[in-house]
Amino acid sequence: MLIKRPEDIPPSEITPRALFERRRAFIKAAGALALAAGMPGPAWSREALPGLQKSPYSTLEPPNSLRDISTYNNFVEFGFGGKSQPAERAGAMKTRPWTVSVEGLVQKPRTLAIEDILKVAPLEERIYRLRCVEGWSMVIPWVGFPLAALLKQVELLGSAKFVEFVTRMDPVAMPGLRQPFLDWPYTEGLRLDEALHPLTIMAVGLYGEELPNQNGAPLRLVVPWKYGFKSGKSIVRIRLVDQAPRTTWNLAQPEEYGFYANVNPDVSHPRWSQDKERRIGELFKRRTLPFNGYAEQVASLYAGMDLRKFH
């Protein structure tokens, strides 16, 4: 694996910066090799996102490798045929030009070009755990900014209570859209206080560069205390509404995928327990933590709620 820690360096001494630099050196070498062999260059020549601020919200756990993060994905618009399909197919999706409309119960609805979204707030590195409802997890060094900064741009009305996120439908690049299993476009939603929480970010990159398409380029939601399916990829529309929006997975299988979907080791998925997870790259399972380990920051959002009922 590319970013494997040499046995003699304790994890505390590996900075993300050191990881980036080693990766950059590798990419340069790989690119030169590919060129020499007459092959196309590496598929990961994405723009660097310089000047990243560090965040106190980052976990100190070691991140998964870029290879794991960008080749083991769920992005069903590109097919239901397994974790490697998004990486194989998502390159066909064009991510420029790209606009995102922010609309609904707001004072100043806007349609923003991705170039302007990148300037909404200083970009930060946010190293977060991601826990998929399927029972695996990763640690991902996202690049992004708080969703709250984007919502501030449109001046919310007092009647706005929830946020709906609508993702891209590209019938040519996305063969999964022809499958009738889900009600397209892939749509997700948050309660307004969840959307405004400082842990909730719009991610535009990872490992210091633009997002790979399979991870939701050019812009995706990341809500680290919820199961991964809440974090919609390749978002085109954000709508402020007064009632909980209908969401894709909840519509398909309400027993299995609740609207809240907070990571909860005590509430089993109907077909399997959620109390353990496999960190990609590790052999043994680890215990799943309430709110994916972010309870201290977010548990108060749900004070007084029965989280079994509102799962």
Ligand X SMILES: Nc1nc2c(c(=O)[nH]1)N[C@H]1C(S)=C(S)[C@@H](COP(=O)(O)O)O[C@H]1N2
Residues that bind Mo ion (CB under 5 A): 74, 132, 228-229
Residues with Cβ within 8 Å of 62's Cβ and at least 6 positions away in sequence, in order, are 5, 11, 14, 139
Q: Which of 85, 215, 262, 292 binds ligand X (CB under 6 A)?
A: 215
Note whether 276 and 286 are within 8 A (CB). yes
Tokens 């640690």, located at residue: 139
The closest residue (CB) to ligand X is 228
Burial class (CB in 10 A: 0-12, 13-18, 19+), 24: middle
Q: CB of 72: closest distance to ligand X in angstroms?
A: 7
State which residue, 199 or 261, has the beta carbon closest to Mo ion. Answer: 261
Which residue from 106, 139, 86, 110 is spatially nearest to 293, judged by alpha carbons? 139
132 part of the interface to ligand X, by CB under 6 A: yes
Select the binding partner of residue 137 from Mo ion, ligand X, none (C-beta < 5 to 8 A, by kind): none
Question: Which of Mo ion, ligand X, none does residue 231 bind (CB under 5 to 8 Å by kind)?
Answer: ligand X
Nearer to ligand X, 73 or 262 (CB): 73
Nearer to Mo ion, 105 or 261 (CB): 261
Size of the site for ligand X (CB under 6 A): 17
CB 9, min distance to ligand X, A = 26
Written as one string, the DSSP assignment of 24-41 is HHHHHHHHHHHHHTT---
Residues 37-76 that bind ligand X (CB under 6 A): 73-76
Question: If contact means CB under 5 to 8 A according to the sort of partner, which of Mo ion, ligand X, none does residue 207 touch?
Answer: none
- Looking at residues 158 to 177 of the shown chain, list those that interact with ligand X (rule: CB under 6 A): 167
Residue 276, strand partner residues: 287
Strand partners, 140: 128
Q: Which residues contact 289 (CB under 8 A, 6 or more apart)?
A: 263, 265, 295
- Work out what residue 215 binds among ligand X, Mo ion, none; the CB cut-off runs from 5 to 8 Å by kind: ligand X
Decide: helix, strand or coil at residue 281: coil
- Enter the tokens of residue 82: 């397994």
162 binds, among ligand X, Mo ion, none (CB under 5 to 8 A by kind): none
d(CA 217, CA 214): 7
Q: Where do contacts with ligand X occur on this chain (CB under 6 A)? A: 73-77, 130, 132, 167, 186, 215-216, 228-229, 231-234
